[in-house]
Chain A
Amino acid sequence: MPAGVFKETYEGDMAFIRYPIHKAALVLAVIAGLSAPLLLDTYYLNLAITALIFWVAVIGLNITVGLAGQISLAQAALMGVGAYTVAFAALKLGVNVVLALPLAGITAMIIGLVLSLPSFKLKEYYLAMASLAAQLLLEYAFSRIDPDQYTPIPPEAKRLASIDLNEPEALYYFTFIVAALMALAAGNIARSSYGRAMKAVRDNDVAASIVGVNVPLTKAIAFGIGGFYAGIAGGLYAIYSVGIGWEAFTLVNSIELLGMVLIGGPGRVVWGSLLGVLVLRTGWTLLESNLVPILAAMGFSAFASAIKYIVLGTLITVVIILEPEGLIAVLRRVKEYFRLWPYSY
């Protein structure tokens, strides 16, 4: 067999899109994504924009937690780092938000790299504690630089050439393109040699080092990427907002992001993360907007937000117990069932 044929086969075998069904699903998703502004009113468009923003943050966290197995409770704080970077670059230096966005990613990435240091020595609960400390420290820093809990993002900084990101449609397309590129990059990292090294570190770090993986470096890369994605997401969040306050980047938000990873599918970096966001963020918002009036009518308005966390906590616990691989695994099983149908054995 000629060598060239071999190569082609391997490349084809490793391609991002391997089956016609993948291609069809992807084309459909892109069409749906691009036509969303035509179909949705401003309320739902904003919902879609936030979903895309959180998708980016959750992809990053999924790389740190799901792919490399390094627990982190500081993702929301890292988003905050990105958001304040964009806010201050725009407000104090007059930098355009689009140009400030990569800077937001890099700043948060550097903090993410610092957060990787405890992971060289600590594991699991202790590592969670270390990242918790980092989260609280960053929250404190935010409260000092933003004591009023409001840092406006000047609308002038959101205009670049003929693009005006103050317009919901333009903002939607901008966010969509950034999120899609970030997702593509994450998918590529996950299937690369780095992705394999991260999975090895997650599954057994001692064995990983015996087979030749530089474990500390791999952990640092995982935290760095997680931070970069959080920074970009935070930057997008600042662009989306009229003004930001640090109450959006607290521990509760970090736990929610972690919940999205666990529910969607840890290690299923692209689609698992999207599913997590759609269930925990978008789905919840839609449900809440219908639930709160009902609860209020029943005289339970004071409990509405408490009920949110009770339901979320229960949902996360149930999913982790019943399906540790996340909801994406359920979808995969359904897909597998139909692929083999009618022979289910």
Chain B
Amino acid sequence: MYYTLNPPATNFNEHLINPNWVHLVPHPQPSMEEAKVDMVWDKSSLYKRVWGMGERILWAEGLHLSFGGVRALDGVSIVIRKGELVGLIGPNGAGKTSLLNVISGIYRPERGRVYFKGKDITGMPPHERVKLGIARTFQHGEMFHGMTVLEAIMLRLHPWHRGSIIEAALWGFRAKRWEVEARERAEHIIDLLELQEYRHRPVGSLPPGIQKKVDLAAALVQDPEVILMDEPMAGLSREEKEDIIRAIIEVRETRGTTMVLVEHDLEVVSDICDRVIVMDRGRVIFDGHPEDAVRDEAVITAYIGG
């Protein structure tokens, strides 16, 4: 089966008249028995076995955010557990990017809090969150079109750069050592994503598929604990998607990175995600197994536009 959800335009008044929209979906907390059942019946994924059992690493409570009259986030609460790969789906304008932006620190929520590893990070500047271990990819691929692939990747190591500006000016001591070290880490990721031939090419001159790969590579070079990926596969060809999926799986298996994946392709989501969170009009309308999501009435209504 191959579903691509291409949802209709959002009507913002709908949720006001539909009492069935749930404000807050309780987080699935399966009992030991359920978890065991998973273990016995689902050997396809290492991570599915521990679904819902892990320690929470990133969570948000009651986020509200609006732009003028538009409620981008209307009481969103989510929990991401260590090692999970969570799919975040929803029609256009559902608030997925806004949610990631609040987690990254670009938008300050009007209400609600964001926690990372037990620490309240709601007011923390974005660059400090990166340093804590939250990386991010962009919906439109690598943003710095004037930089070469190598520069764009090495840029993302800047939060860990320790040499002073004077050392940089003299090109001595830590500045030089840093450059070599950063280059080595960048080359490692370039190898992983097979970007060798694009190394010295300006990002803007590359096809969109490669720009997305560069963006993913750049986020991965930060060796994050959690990576927030905003539609890393949108608009890509079948093979390009497979490349990205392969990289995602490889990184999970080698580093155990926790991942949040915004994606419209339901097949991809049910193939690789342990859990799916469905958003619509700024609210979470479903949170559970991907297989259940396609049968869920609220989800179907949201997508069909009922």
Contacts and interface: CB of A to CB of B under 8 A. Distances in A.
Given A197-B155, A211-B218, A214-B125, A16 B171 contact: yes
A196 B154 contact: yes
**Most chain-A CB neighbours within 10 Å: which of B104, B105, B163, B165?**
B165
Interface stretch (B88-96, B145-153, B267-275, B276-284): B145-153
A193 B171 CA distance: 11
A199 B147 contact: yes
A189 interface: yes
Given A185-B169, A188-B170, A192-B175, A212 B145 contact: no
Contacts of A211: 130, 136, 143, 155-156, 158, 218
A31 B282 CA distance: 67
B59 to A, nearest CB: 20
Contact of A209 (B127, B138, B170): B127
Contacts of B159: 212-214
A289 interface: no
A207 B138 contact: yes
B115 to A, nearest CB: 19
Interface in A149-207: 185-186, 188-189, 192-197, 199-200, 203-204, 206-207
A343 interface: no
Interface in B98-143: 104-106, 125-127, 130-131, 136, 138, 143
Interface in B63-108: 104-106
Contact of B168 (A7, A189, A199, A203): A189
B170 A185 contact: yes
A193 B161 contact: yes
A195 B171 CA distance: 12
A199 B131 CA distance: 20
A345 to B, nearest CB: 16
A210 B137 CA distance: 9
A210 B179 contact: no
B34 interface: no
Nearest to A209: B126
Contacts of B125: 209, 214
A11 B179 CA distance: 8
Contacts of B183: 10, 13-14
Interface in B150-202: 151, 154-159, 161, 163, 165, 168-171, 175-176, 178-180, 182-184, 187
A194 B161 CA distance: 9
Contacts of A203: 143-147
Contacts of B168: 188-189, 192-195
Output the residue of A13, A199, A206, A210 with the most chain B CB within 10 A. A210
Contacts of B105: 209
Interface residues of B, number: 40
Interface string B245-258: 00000000000000
A7 B159 CA distance: 22
A214 B179 contact: no
Contacts of B154: 193, 196
Interface string B262-299: 00000000000000000000000000000000000000
Contacts of B218: 211
Given A194-B168, A209-B125, A199 B158 contact: no
Contacts of A11: 176, 179-180
A221 interface: yes
B211 interface: no
Contacts of A189: 165, 168-169
A6 B136 CA distance: 29
Contacts of B170: 185, 188
Nearest to B171: A188
Contacts of A186: 169
A203 B145 CA distance: 8
Contacts of B157: 193
A10 B158 contact: no
A86 interface: no
A200 B146 CA distance: 9
Nearest to A215: B127
B165 A194 contact: yes
Contacts of B136: 210-211
A150 B169 CA distance: 35
Nearest to A221: B165
Nearest to A16: B171
Nearest to B183: A10
A225 interface: yes
A104 to B, nearest CB: 17
Contacts of A213: 127, 155, 158-159
B155 A204 contact: no
A215 B169 CA distance: 20
Contacts of B182: 193
List 7 tightest A-B contacts by C-beta distance, closest first.
Answer: A212-B130, A192-B168, A212-B159, A185-B169, A207-B143, A209-B126, A193-B161
Interface of A: 6-7, 10-11, 13-14, 16, 185-186, 188-189, 192-197, 199-200, 203-204, 206-207, 209-215, 221, 225
22 contacts: A6-B184, A10-B183, A10-B184, A11-B176, A11-B179, A185-B169, A185-B170, A189-B169, A192-B171, A192-B175, A193-B154, A194-B165, A195-B168, A197-B155, A199-B147, A203-B143, A204-B143, A210-B130, A211-B218, A213-B127, A213-B155, A214-B159
